[in-house]
Amino acid sequence: MEYILSDKTDFETGCLFCSKARQGNDRENLILYRGQRTFIILNLYPYNNGHLMVVPYEHTRNVDELDEATLAEMMSEAKRAVQALEKAMSPDGFNIGINIGKSAGAGVDNHVHMHVVPRWVGDSNFMPVVSETRLIPEDPQTTYERLLQAGIAER
């Protein structure tokens, strides 16, 4: 709720991911890990608890514009995220993917990023169908702390 009610004018004038990466306040911005070419950040509009993203620092719309080293790091960091989420939250499975373009469901369509979404058996209920609402019972700061304790930032 704090984010939903907050002033978001800074993000409306530029790229959300570039802005957060530049700010340097990783805890406030929910940046869990910074790699050489990518960073891992919790999603402010999660599909599920623990929903995070692997984002290249390079501002580009599509994966075909990224070099091989950045693509390799994105996959390596997705693996890091899965391992930490398994340790911290014990999900039954994962959805991992990249939405390219608005028609594909990209919420931020000007900066390519990879979603890592933990899933549990029965995690979908009537709320999304009846009222187009998802229930996320854990505060993002709590999830942030759980993932740090699970070693997401360790090499």
Q: Which residues are catalytic?
A: 113
**DSSP state, 106?**
-
Residue entry with tokens 């991911």: 17
Nearest to 115 by CA among 104, 123, 126, 131: 104
CB 98 within 8 A of CB 112: yes
CB 54 within 8 A of CB 40: yes
Secondary structure of residue 114 in the 3-state scheme? strand
CB 119 within 8 A of CB 95: yes
